[in-house]
Amino acid sequence: MHVTSFTHLVVSSLLLSLVAEGTSSAWFAVSCCLAAGVLTSFSAAVAVDARAYAKMRAKLGVGVVAFHAGHALLHAFPAAAALVALRPADARAWHGVAAAAAHACWSAVASRAAGAPLLCLDATYVPLRGGRASWARLHCVAWATEVGVALAWTARSAGEAGGGLAHEGGGGAVTT
């Protein structure tokens, strides 16, 4: 059984949530966290296997320019749009936890559907040097990003609601 790439699901979720419910929905906030996780984990693939991108290009039958244009279009652009231009109106820490859980569930299903060890996505994408350990590192990058982005949004929202960032000695906003 072939399972579609997680990127396609995330980009679809991001677009559908934006159109259906706008930037104030929990669905959109979770999708934004997922887009950030997909970007960082895909970008980190060459850190765990220097030939990862070459293997992906060969599997897809595309050249260097087309591959990197696809990376920009499918990973960087959606994440930048979600994180900068369309930032969720009401992001909470739990959105990142939900994103990481959804990512883990998809990875578990995809790996098992391919008959591979849990969370090893060699059959879905390409075999990585280091196998399951490399996939574990990439999952940790994605999950840390997904939760980290939500925590950053939560902290930023708390700072904005409190009238600004407090300095060390007082509780009010720093003004000049």
pLDDT tens sequence for the chain (176 residues)? 445 689 999 999 999 999 999 888 999 999 999 999 999 999 999 999 999 999 999 999 999 999 999 999 889 999 998 888 778 878 899 999 999 999 999 999 999 999 999 999 999 999 999 999 999 999 999 999 999 999 998 887 777 766 554 444 444 444 44
Would 173 be classed as within a structural domain? no
Separation of alpha carbons 140 and 133, rounded Å: 11
Would 153 be classed as within a structural domain? yes
Would 1 be classed as within a structural domain? no
Would 169 be classed as within a structural domain? no
Q: Report the predicted TM-score, pTM, of the whole model to 2 decimal places.
A: 0.85
Total number of domains in the chain: 1
Would 35 be classed as within a structural domain? yes
The boundaries of the domain holding residue 103 are: 6-158
